[in-house]
Amino acid sequence: MNLQESVSSFTRINHGRVIRNGESYVQAKQYIHKRVEDALDEYSDITETNQRARLIRDNIDFLLRRYHNYCIKDRIGGHYRQKDLKHDDPKDFEHVLPAAIVRDLLLFGRISIEQAMNPPTCVLHREQHVALAAAGFASKTPDIWNFWQRYADLNIVIVTHDNQEIDTNSWNLGDHYRHFNIDA
């Protein structure tokens, strides 16, 4: 069969929808953890910055963001949320600790894969998210450990996904991982 016949006779397969439930989240976690582990092993062999290194970093970004969107955003909304959000308010899911920083912390062995898969995320009113970007915090933070510092000028109250109010002046990355039972 030539290429034209092969392509022309192809019938697209319906792979069906995956039902999002506890089992699908576990499968996503296991699959992504293993792929990130493999990428880290491959990255550790790199001796110079080159396109291969960039592609591996991009792959890790993709995998982590896929996990964050599927297993955090779609499951619990975000680890945290702005307290006064109403159901119909325009809102954004955001990485309180920017995803590129999380990836680099992982690449350089400062956090575990499990921790990189569960960085602090928050659902904010879109207006507040725009204000963060305008203040220059779209992809950076003044203090990685005290990650809530990037929200200092927003004057908002933050609660966990299960409505526990937190003190953003003292709640740090260690508190985040302890609260959500994320081991190193």
What would the DSSP string read from start to end of 27-68? HHHHHHHHHHHHHHHHHHT--S--HHHHHHHHHHHHHHHHHI
Q: How many domains does the chain have?
A: 1
Backbone dihedral region for residue 172 (phi beyond 0: left; psi -120 to 50: alpha; all else: beta):
beta
Predicted local confidence at residue 184, as pLDDT: 60
Least confident of 6-10, 34-38, 74-78, 142-146: 74-78
The backbone torsions φ and ψ at residue 128, rounded to the nearest 5 degrees and listed phi first, read -70, -35
Is residue 184, in this structure, part of any structural domain at all?
no
Q: With respect to residue 27, please indicate whether it lies within any of the assigned structural domains.
A: yes
53 part of a folded domain = yes
- Return the H-helix or E-strand segment holding 99: helix 99-107
Quick one: which of 92, 72, 79 has its CA closest to 32?
72
pLDDT(80) > 70: yes
- Whether residue 166 is contained in a domain is answered as yes
Q: Is residue 4 part of a domain?
A: no
Q: Report the pLDDT value the prediction gives residue 90, as an integer from 0 to 100.
A: 94
Q: What is the largest CA-CA distance in the chain?
A: 67
For the segment 130-145, the average pLDDT, to the nearest whole number, is: 85
Q: 75 lies in a domain?
A: yes
Mean pLDDT, to the nearest integer, of 96-110? Answer: 94
Residue 165 domain flag:
yes
Instruction: Check pLDDT > 80 for residue 155.
Output: yes
Taking 90 as the threshold, does the pLDDT of residue 120 lie above it?
Answer: yes
The rounded mean pLDDT for the chain is 92
pTM of the entire predicted model: 0.88
User: What share of the chain in percent tops pLDDT 70?
Assistant: 99
Write down the pLDDT at residue 51: 95
